[in-house]
Copies of this chain bind each other. A is one copy, B any other.
Amino acid sequence: MLIVMHHWATEQDVEEVKRTIVAQGLKPVAIPGAERTAIGVIGNQGWIDDAPFRTIKSILEIIHVTKPYKLVSRDFHPSDTVIKLGDGVRIGGKSPLLMIAGPCAIESREQIFRTARFLKKLGVPMMRGGAYKPRTSPHSFQGLREKGLELLDEARKETGILVVTEVMSPEHVELVAQKVDVLQIGARNMQNYDLLNEAGKAKKPVILKRGLSATVEEWLASAEYVLLGGNPEVILCERGIRTFETATRNTADLAVVPLVKTISHLPVIVDPSHATGRRDLVPHMSLAAVVVGAHGLMLEVHPDPEHALSDGPQSLHFKEFEKLLRRIEGLKDFMKTL
């Protein structure tokens, strides 16, 4: 931690800060400057609570050097986390790109079975499908909830495809974890801490979507909740952030993929469907996600997007998805050279 004093701070002020540091069992190192004095704080093990310093008037700024997370950091876990998702299916490290696809919402048995069989045939290992749907308006379709969960479970058993679904409440975590292979925590719930804590107790991997306006630091701190709760299997998912630009639904922040991989050992995937909100842009951004090094892609695909109950405009038709898969396949040789 670095404490920067106001330019008008007197020697007494500096002494007061030093005493406060010592009182915390830490050690001060003064850094006198041309304009103002700074005081380094040493001797800490991890994050320092800056509460005792925050109201000393002669302090201009408190700069934290230590980050608000630890377990998710490469500093403490240098090698990549590789998560086993099913027989021969892994994500993270050097594992091959994981494809996850499926409708935004589970709407009917026919819809979910058609999609599961279609994906299975193409060799896509995991299907997404929302049972509990977070919707801006209470007047929109809210998901089939428990019934949707059952349909997902049936489709999984019958086709052998792995499934992931969003869980919105702490009290649903246990139930959902029984029915699916991977839990998803949505962007709107990235800082729903009771939910994160509960996911930390689950025995299933968790896809943690980045919040609409979450910094990388906050995103990783949210993942830290899950790891600290006892669940080391977290997959980070970039899904676009909210900016001033309204031409796309969100702004895909692809640079965070290589960035997060330098900071954290956790796998990182990208959801180009929510990141763009437009079907025609999804293929481009999927390819981009692959070449920046994403460990996986999560895509919305629907047998009949024109009649989808949610996110139709960003869902790919089956044919478009097949075409995109072939394109991604075409990148395989290139990716080996990276």
Q: Could you tell me which A residues sit within 8 Å of B by CB distance?
A: 2, 4, 7-8, 29-36, 38, 40-47, 49, 51-52, 54-56, 61, 63, 65-66, 68-70, 75, 132, 134-140, 142, 168-171, 188-189, 191-195, 212-213, 215-218, 221-222, 224-225, 228, 241-248, 251-259, 262, 275-276, 278-281, 284-285, 287-293, 305-310, 312-313, 327, 330-331, 334, 337-338
Contact = CB atoms under 8 A, between A and B. Distances in A.
Contacts of A330: 334, 337
Number of copies: 4
Given A2-B40, A33-B66, 6 more contacts: A33-B42, A68-B137, A189-B191, A192-B192, A243-B244, A258-B284
Given A31-B29, A139-B47, A244-B243, A306 B54 contact: yes
A319 to B, nearest CB: 13
A131 to B, nearest CB: 13
A88 B52 CA distance: 40
A256 B246 contact: no
B259 A281 contact: yes
Nearest to A247: B216
Given A137-B47, A139-B68, A281-B255, A169 B191 contact: no
A275 to B, nearest CB: 7
Contacts of A276: 255
